[in-house]
Structure 1
Amino acid sequence: MLISSALISIFLLLFFSWYKRKKFNSEETYLLAGKNTKLFPLVATLVMTELNPSTLIAFSGAGYYAGIWALMLPFVFLVGLGFYAFAVAKKWKEWDGYSVAGIFSKRYGILMGRVTSFLLLVAMVGFTATYVKAMYLIFSPLFVIFSQWQLTFIIVCLVLSLNLKGGLRSIIQTDIYSFLAVMIILPSILLFSFLKSDAPVLPILSPQAIVDGSKILPVRFILSLILLTMFTYIAAPWYGQKIVSSESKETAKAGVTLSAVFVFLLYCFPILSVILYKSKIQHLTSGQDSYPLVLNQVLPDYLLGFTYVVLFAIGATTLSGVWSAQTSMVIGDFFSKIEVRKDTRRAYLIMVVFAILSYIAANLLVDQILDKLILANIPVFALSFALLAGFYWEKASAIGAYISTLVGIVWGVFTYLYFGEENIYTFYWSVLGLPLIFGTGILFSYLFPSKKR
């Protein structure tokens, strides 16, 4: 029953992805879906782009150790994406470019644009590597006959087969079906966890449980994640590309606002599932193994197969979205005259290259998913002054952008090496790094003003 339901669900996922797939005759249509995405498809694709297997595994693992206090982790996205909607959603739609790095080229020169693109591309390889590794953790209990290298290879190939030739429009179409399925399946898993758990609910919700949890996930760690999310997502290429694909500025802002609420709610469900069922899966060596274990113990076979495919869709849509954004950046930032290119073979090849990099990095570099996911944000956070000043401050100069970015990277690496994960380096990185980045950016913009006035 389990294998049958999984195969049927995979067939349906492939069918919906390939259904009415159009052959594109230009890279612009392939990468930006015609720039007419309406509100519901935009919300669905933004939610599914953010709802990734790495964060799901990491957050549910935090629920295993920190209990109800771990719900502060989804709250990070509610604030972070809310800030995106307020600060840059309309600005990105106004920009209307192929790559988020394009605004850096326009404001600070083409070299800064290419430096930005390189930094973001490196960060995204790190992100996608954690997504692939998380998908392995989810599916390894089901496919024990495969090694990590073999299973991740199969996963990457399947993801490519879903959306490689359909471009962003195919990704959005798949995201819609995946979003509807996720809205059903994640609450269902929570319900089954509650029904099969023998743990009393009241102690889980007690003030003492919150106090105990805050010792494991300190307030300063949560605060640091809020700041990091606020000032990294504003430059996120996988969001910027989809915002540009929206039909209007109003749709862009409303789409991000609604997606912030849905992302918050959907990440709460896995955390609560693990919390409720923890009494039956105690003594795990790693919290990131908890949610896959819950799935296998609480769900009936007929639903488990479908659930695995939905979880695959969560990872596939995120991976596809990021690979598509990377492809758009390479073409938009390192090649010229994208609009006159009449075929998409170049885009296919670039996307395959990034898929291969994700596969290799997942198997060689990623151990603890949340740690590596956060670490990959160092170059993105460093760009925060240059981006916001590029949108809002005419006096921002190229020298200010370069120096603030360099300071941000150096400070992020220093705090990681000096304080380390055990001493919550993210607090020093974000709380002290933010004024350093913006302070140096402002100072050097005044000392070395732009020649263009």
Structure 2
Amino acid sequence: MPVFVLTMFSTWYGGILGVGEFGYMYGISSWLLQGVPYYFFAIVFAFVFAARARRMEVSSTPEQIAKVYGLQVGRLSALFTMILASPAPYILMIAVLLQLMMGLSLFTSLLISVIFSIGYLVRGGFRADRYTDVVFGVMMFLGFLMFVGFLFFEYGSVLGMRGSMPPNHFIWHGGNPPQFIIMWFLIALWTWVEPSFYQRCYAAKSDEVAKKGILWSVFFWFLFDILTMATALYARAILPALRDPMLSYPALADFVLPPVAKGFFFVSLLATILSTLNSQFFVSSIAIGRDFLFSFFPKRYSETRWIQIGLFLMAGFSIVLALLIPSVVKLWYTIGTIMIPGLLLPMVTSFFTKSQVRSEWMFASQLFGFTTSLICLLWGWSDVVGSYDQFPFGVEPIFPGLVVAIAFWGAGMIHKIKHQSH
């Protein structure tokens, strides 16, 4: 249980610079948008999906979907999972830290972070990923606990610094419109399609370990959120004119911490990011290497070799993605917006026979849900007024994507019911 909890906790909290970026920009509302919905969906996952996932006798989410809906749907799910689990946000964060510490170019920093992470996985596989994540999980807590303690004794309570922050930073919605809040809640459905969640459950020793392990992980995420939220607020108060909000944590550490403490905190930041980076590399390379390419060319190479090829393919893909979208929050937003409509229904319904439709209906649901969100997103990016994307009818792309996906699934359910009644 302790290993399960520490690996689950550290794996799902790797986007630490994105957390700082969000907290610096939106204050306590970032906890509502980046914390509460993830707690809720993770708790539901623990009670509804964890034990069922462990009993599926598969080793990846595309394999689980293919087991229920067939090879065609499984292959499309593998492609979507590859993008969903892309380590791009995490290699970007490592690269930003390397830039800050060593003055390297972004491209060089991205290459170094990719090579370092792949080295772990090529040498040790999932076992290396699992045990390094335990160490990383401990370092995450110690680093931020030290930092918040130092800030408290140096500057006093963060509540006493409210006057140095925008008023919206202590309002629950952060000044954001309802659609923005609902959109981020829906992106939190990522929890139900996140392959690393299922990967831990597939490998759990028992149903009880899978369920209780996730619940304990939620508790530790909540505790860690308190530390990261406080640190982001301190950063906004102490460094109010920071040019790049993604640098809020490292910039604050560089400004206030003495050399030894600063070094320890930077190591804890790296540990936080690497915990998820390693896991995402592993699951995404399985998706593209084994679940997709191996299904087409089973005789050319072994499964293991295809997974290794997948690692290098994901490295190149993630570097390109990080260069195109050099913001952690925007990467999360982009990937979640287009991938959740394509993966949510096949993943969730794979557990419940009564909700399953014929494979051609599910394939259409996936494909057109994804395509709708992607077209709306690209439309908005091509029509920017000020700093705002002008999406069709002013609606966030994830909404029409989910509506279209549900519509095709619903049509499949109607067809199924009519067929059963005859």
Structure 2 length-normalised TM: 0.85
Q: Which residue of 2 aligns with 1:35?
A: none
1:226 maps to amino acid:
F
Q: Which residue of 1 aligns with 2:69?
A: 108
Distance 1:140 1:168 in 2: 29
Q: Which residue of 2 aligns with 1:32?
A: none
SS in 2 for 1:141: helix
Distance 1:149 1:235, change over 3 A: same
2:312 pairs with 1:352: yes
Among 165, 175, 189, the residue aligned to 2:147? 189
2:397 pairs with 1:437: no
2:118 pairs with 1:154: no
Structure 1: 5+ residue runs without aligned partners?
1-38
CA displacement at 1:432 relative to structure 2: 5.4
Runs of 4+ more than 4 Å apart: 205-213, 341-346, 418-421, 423-427, 430-433, 448-453
Question: Structure 1, residues 275-302: CA drift from partner, whole Å, max 9, x if none?
Answer: 1243331212222121110111222211
Distance 1:450 1:318, change over 3 A: farther
Distance 2:50 2:395 in 1: 27
Q: What is the root-mean-square deviation of aligned Cα atoms in Å? A: 3.2
2:348 pairs with 1:388: yes
SS in 2 for 1:283: coil
SS in 2 for 1:165: helix
Partners of 2:17 and 2:249 within 8 A in 1:
yes
Q: Which residue of 2 aligns with 1:36?
A: none
CA displacement at 1:173 relative to structure 2: 0.6
Distance 1:222 1:265, change over 3 A: farther
Distance 2:249 2:17 in 1: 7
Partners of 2:51 and 2:208 within 8 A in 1:
yes
1:134 maps to amino acid:
M
1:69 maps to amino acid:
S
Query: Counterparts of 1:204-219 in structure 2 under 5 Å?
Result: 204=162, 209=168, 214-219=173-178
Identity of aligned residues (%): 19
CA displacement at 1:429 relative to structure 2: 3.8
SS in 2 for 1:335: helix
CA displacement at 1:269 relative to structure 2: 1.9
Partners of 1:199 and 1:276 within 8 A in 2:
no
Distance 2:11 2:158 in 1: 35
Query: Counterparts of 1:244-263 in structure 2 under 5 Å?
Result: 244-263=202-221
Question: Structure 1, residues 119-146: CA drift from partner, whole Å, max 9, x if none?
Answer: 2113333xx11211122223322111x2
CA displacement at 1:451 relative to structure 2: 9.3
SS in 2 for 1:95: coil
Partners of 1:67 and 1:204 within 8 A in 2:
no
Query: Counterparts of 1:18-57 in structure 2 under 5 Å?
Result: 39-52=1-14, 55-57=15-17
Distance 1:430 1:211 in 2: 28
Distance 1:174 1:199, change over 3 A: closer
Query: Counterparts of 1:379-418 in structure 2 under 5 Å?
Result: 379-394=339-354, 395-418=356-379
2:31 pairs with 1:90: no
Distance 1:450 1:304 in 2: 66
Distance 2:167 2:206 in 1: 47
Query: Counterparts of 1:251-290 in structure 2 under 5 Å?
Result: 251-290=209-248
2:17 maps to amino acid:
I
Deviates more, 1:131-140 or 1:421-430: 421-430
2:186 maps to amino acid:
L
Deviates more, 1:240-249 or 1:203-212: 203-212
Deviates more, 1:154-163 or 1:174-183: 154-163
Among 84, 93, 108, the residue aligned to 1:123? 84
SS in 1 for 2:260: helix
SS in 1 for 2:240: coil
CA displacement at 1:202 relative to structure 2: 4.1
Question: Structure 1, residues 187-223: CA drift from partner, whole Å, max 9, x if none?
Answer: 2112222333378624639995556563444443233
Count of matched residue pairs: 406
Q: Which residue of 1 aligns with 2:257?
A: 299
1:74 maps to amino acid:
G
Distance 2:418 2:194 in 1: 26
Query: Counterparts of 1:318-397 in structure 2 under 5 Å?
Result: 318-329=276-287, 330-335=289-294, 344-362=304-322, 364-377=323-336, 378-394=338-354, 395-397=356-358
Structure 2: 5+ residue runs without aligned partners?
382-386
Distance 1:451 1:165 in 2: 52
Partners of 1:135 and 1:315 within 8 A in 2:
yes
Partners of 1:48 and 1:317 within 8 A in 2:
yes
Deviates more, 1:262-271 or 1:302-311: 262-271
Distance 1:299 1:320 in 2: 28
Partners of 1:129 and 1:366 within 8 A in 2:
no
